Structure 1
């Protein structure tokens, strides 16, 4: 018996496709700054030219009096304002914690 002849294995050529183009997605960068936060801390009132000893904006000045009172200013405030620290301008005449009432 004769051994069958061996035939080398060949692969058939297949059609090749060019690679699909890559899509690049560009995303917007996150904002680097945050919007300002409104606060009512003593530091915020002082920074905005409001005296931190009062709730309600009492301007920082050499003297502040109640609007419509007998004081001579140079600044005036319309009340009522709450005294949260020292009543440095004497706005709370009856010492009940509320000035210019």
Structure 2
């Protein structure tokens, strides 16, 4: 009689029952980066779009908004902030 390793048994179970492994959660934002924006937008009191009328203290170009839009960079709510930058 053959014995299966734990990994082999798990692989067999996945193949037999059609189980699907889930992907690991996305990596956390690098230190100092707000997790709602990609690429990195600094965590600070306010961030405005480059070339806009905001008064900073930080500025950014086009970003994807992937969480709460704390800095109100995505005015039309389509998931892209600072589109005209």
Question: Number of matched residues?
Answer: 58
Partner of 2:64: 82
Find the aligned partners of 1:46 and 1:62 in 2 and give their Cα distance: 18
Find the aligned partners of 1:94 and 1:70 in 2 and give their Cα distance: 17
Q: How does 1:49-68 map to 2 (within 5 A)?
A: 49-68=32-51
Higher relative contact order (CA 8 A, sep 6+): 2
**Alignment partner for residue 56 of structure 2, among 40, 48, 73?**
73
Q: Report deviation, 1:54.
A: 0.9
Over the aligned positions, Cα root-mean-square deviation in angstroms equals 1.3
Deviations 1:22-77 (A, max 9, x none): xxxxxxxxxxxxxxxxxx72x2x242x11101111111100000010010100001
| TM-score relative to the length of structure 2 | 0.63
| TM-score relative to the length of structure 1 | 0.54
**Alignment partner for residue 98 of structure 1, among 74, 77, 80?**
80
Q: Name the structure where helix makes up a greater proportion of residues.
A: 2
